[in-house]
Amino acid sequence: MVRLNERLKKIYDQVRPGESVCDVGTDHGYVPLALLESGISEKVIMSDISAGSLLKCKENAEALLPDAAPFDLRQGSGIEVLESGEVDTVIMAGMGGMLITEILGKDYHHSHSFKRYILQPRKHVGRLRYWLLDNDFTVVHEDLAREGKFIWPILTVESFGRALFVNADPDDIEFEYPLTLLDHRNEHTEEYIKNALRLERLKLESKSEGSLTTFKELRTQKHRVERLEYMAERL
């Protein structure tokens, strides 16, 4: 039986029954293998840029689901391994947020040919959210999952756009900690927000003491703290 930790299980849970899936950067392949095993997806593609990762995935697949062979394993970068519209849902997990934007940004029509994405960035989630909004993708579900000492965001994204506001900056805290995190709160939300608030307060303290801090930097940092205080009061 394929075993999933909390992070992988929450990614798995975002796939709807009957959807075909490609897991980009699959490495161990556990999520697509679990989807095949449970019958949630009949068609899964496992892809990775690394031959070593793909070999690991193949060995796991043959050991865990010998009856499901042959497996659709593809080596290559991002969604280049797919024909346009070839699957319903693309998963990209455990990759940097900026790498995800590079993969999606290569070809607008190709990336919009897939209906849904399940994205679990390791870094730069604010910049990823900004980029998605700016490129006609909409976050329809937010989740948080614990893995060891980390709490990771998981974004379910659909391929339709809403008009972007003006004067936004990719580093704005609103993209890192959107209010939708409160709408989709779970057992990790309080710790996630309070940790962020603690770190941002420490930064404010050190910026307040720094003689080189500009007024604008101080105001921005104060805004970051107040934003998180606003969210913490509504947990």
Ligand X SMILES: C[S@@+](CC[C@H](N)C(=O)[O-])C[C@H]1O[C@@H](n2cnc3c(N)ncnc32)[C@H](O)[C@@H]1O
19 binds ligand X (CB under 6 A): no
Which phi and psi (to 5°) does residue 161 adopt?
-110, 160
Indicate whether 139 belongs to the interface with ligand X (CB under 6 A). no
Q: For residue 96, state whether it binds ligand X (rule: CB under 6 A).
A: no
- Tokens 């593609």 correspond to 45
Can you tell me which of 33, 44, 93, 100 binds ligand X, judged by CB under 6 A?
A: 93
Q: Which is nearer to ligand X, 94 or 161 (CB)?
A: 94
If phi over 0 gives left and psi between -120 and 50 gives alpha, with beta otherwise, what is residue 136? Answer: left
Query: How far, in Å, CA of 225 to CA of 168, rounded?
Result: 18
Classify residue 130 by its DSSP letter: H
Count of positions on this chain that bind ligand X (CB under 6 A): 15
Q: 99 or 181, CB closer to ligand X?
A: 99
Binding status of residue 26 toward ligand X by CB under 6 A: yes
Q: For residues 6 and 158, which CB has a smaller minimum distance to ligand X in the complex?
A: 6
Looking only at the bridges linking them, the beta strands covering 44-48 and 150-158 are: unpaired
The binder of ligand X chosen from 12, 14, 21, 48 (CB under 6 A): 48
- Least distance CB 116 / ligand X (angstroms): 16
Q: To which residue do tokens 């008009």 refer?
A: 163
Largest Cα span, the chain? 66
State how far the Cα of 149 lies from the Cα of 209, in Å rounded to an integer.
30
Nearest to 15 by CA among 2, 32, 28, 1: 32
Q: Is there binding between residue 121 and ligand X (CB under 6 A)?
A: no
Determine which residue in the list 2, 21, 22, 24 makes contact with ligand X, applying CB under 6 A. 24
Mark the segment that binds ligand X (CB under 6 A) among 43-51, 137-145, 178-186, 215-223: 43-51
| Helical ranges in 14-50 per DSSP H | 30-38
Q: Is 89 in the site for ligand X (CB under 6 A)?
A: no
Question: Cβ distance 19 to 41 under 8 Å?
Answer: yes
Q: In angstroms, what is the minimal distance from the CB of 172 to ligand X? A: 27
Among 78, 97, 126, 153, binds ligand X (CB under 6 A): 78
Structure tokens at 155: 């974004």
- Residue from 14, 15, 22, 25 touching ligand X (CB under 6 A): that is 25
Q: How many CB atoms lie within 10 A of CB 141?
A: 16
**Shortest Cβ distance from residue 189 to ligand X (Å)?**
21
Q: What residues line the site for ligand X (CB under 6 A)?
A: 24-27, 48-50, 53, 77-78, 93-95, 99, 103
